[in-house]
């Protein structure tokens, strides 16, 4: 959140992506998806098995590195409320995103929220797509959340990023379905325990049995190849002294790290990020619409 808020405060465009086992599977089937991740300024790990595997490869991955919308949503909306962020959500069925926006606006009245459902022709040259881009541009968001499912949302961002206004862009899947109560979110203890996939599978087996039951097996070959390579490099099981991942920085000098968050990226002042962290402490997240409230 500190990095995202720093981008928003400076008006810098940025793209935040996320990886999980499904995205790795899709990269095998749709290699062109790699271009989306190559453009990302930050990539979150939204998969407990992925973090476990990273640990086997010698990277200092820990369970708390897992990051998904349901985990950071309270802090995000608290910041949006305090600073008056303009947040646009593109996705969900007609009426669902609007209902989510109404509920979020009631809880976070300082945030300015715009929405557009995901039922339109996403082809770059279509009239539908042009109208969507005009709507987003007119709204002038600080943050654009795109929730149309993977990989449609990633390809839409990739195809249209040059035409979008300067803002922070995140693909967030069914985020507003959860906010509207159209889908039930897994309890956060299940997310922390690495069992969110089981909750989702039981809730919607007809749609998700292939993703959770078959797709991971296609990753076994590449995973074994990575393990062999890591073993050959004598990296298996190795940890850094600090216990943090070493992330390349896009500037000549590595940005300082505080609390696992990279500050001062692209020459931005760490003091601005420090103030944002104070805001998070000063304003604890409100009781969520997803957790602890009746749908």
User: How many beta carbons lie within 10 A of that of residue 228, not counting itself?
Assistant: 11
List strand residue ranges (DSSP E) for the chain, in order: 14-19, 42-45, 86-91, 112-116, 143-147, 168-171, 257-258, 261-262
3-class SS string, 149-168 = CCCHHHHHHHHHHHHCCCCE
Q: What is the predicted pLDDT for the residue at 95? A: 96
pLDDT number for residue 125: 92
* Structure confidence at residue 155 (pLDDT): 98
Distance (Å) of CA 144 to CA 10, 115, 169, 181, 241: 16, 10, 5, 21, 37
pLDDT score recorded for residue 211? 79
**Rounded Cα distance, 244 and 64, in Å:** 12
For residue 181, what pLDDT is reported?
92
What's the confidence (pLDDT) of residue 232? 77
pLDDT reported for residue 234:
55
Residue 120: phi and psi, rounded to 5, are -155, 165
159-162 contacts: CB < 8 A, separation 24 or more? 159/122, 159/124, 160/124, 160/129, 160/133, 161/15, 161/39
For residue 52, the SS3 value is helix
Provide the pLDDT for residue 290.
61
Residue 284 pLDDT? 52
> Rg of the Cα trace of the chain?
19
| Mean pLDDT by groups of 10 residues along the chain of 295 residues | 94 95 94 97 90 86 85 95 98 96 97 97 96 98 97 97 97 94 80 75 81 84 87 58 41 33 36 51 54 39
pLDDT of residue 215: 82
SS3 72: helix
Q: What is the pLDDT of residue 278?
A: 55
pLDDT of residue 197: 73
Whole-prediction pTM: 0.78
Domain boundaries, the chain: 2-182+214-282
Long-range contacts of 117-125 (CB under 8 A, 24+ apart): 117/91, 117/92, 117/93, 118/90, 118/91, 118/92, 118/93, 118/147, 118/148, 119/93, 119/94, 122/148, 122/152, 122/155, 122/156, 122/159, 124/159, 124/160
> 83: closest CA among 147, 161, 10?
10
pLDDT for the residue 237 = 53
């Amino acid at each position: 959140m500190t990095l995202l808020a720093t981008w928003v405060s400076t008006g810098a465009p940025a793209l935040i992506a996320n990886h999980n086992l499904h995205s790795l599977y899709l990269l095998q089937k749709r290699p062109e998806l790699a271009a989306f991740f190559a453009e990302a300024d930050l990539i979150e790990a939204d998969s407990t098995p992925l973090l476990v595997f990273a640990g086997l490869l010698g990277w200092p991955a820990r369970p708390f590195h897992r990051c998904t919308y349901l985990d950071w949503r309270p802090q995000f909306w608290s910041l949006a409320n305090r600073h008056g962020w303009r947040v646009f959500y593109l996705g969900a069925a007609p009426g669902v995103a609007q209902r989510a926006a109404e509920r979020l606006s009631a809880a976070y009245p300082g945030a300015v929220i715009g929405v557009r459902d995901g039922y339109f022709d996403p082809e770059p040259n279509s009239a539908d797509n042009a109208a969507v881009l005009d709507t987003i541009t007119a709204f002038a968001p600080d943050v654009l959340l795109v929730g149309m499912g993977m990989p449609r949302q990633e390809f839409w961002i990739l195809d249209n990023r040059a035409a979008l206004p300067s803002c922070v862009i995140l693909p967030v899947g069914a985020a507003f379905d959860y906010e509207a109560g159209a889908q039930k979110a897994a309890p956060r203890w299940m997310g922390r325990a690495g069992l969110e996939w089981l909750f989702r599978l039981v809730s919607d087996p007809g749609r998700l049995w292939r993703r959770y039951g078959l797709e991971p097996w296609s990753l076994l070959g590449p995973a074994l190849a990575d393990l062999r390579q890591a073993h050959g490099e004598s990296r298996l099981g190795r940890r850094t002294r600090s216990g943090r991942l070493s992330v390349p920085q896009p500037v000549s000098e590595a940005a300082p790290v505080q609390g696992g968050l990279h500050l001062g990226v692209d020459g931005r002042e760490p003091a601005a990020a420090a103030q944002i962290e104070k805001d998070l402490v000063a304003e604890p997240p409100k009781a969520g619409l997803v957790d602890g409230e009746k749908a």
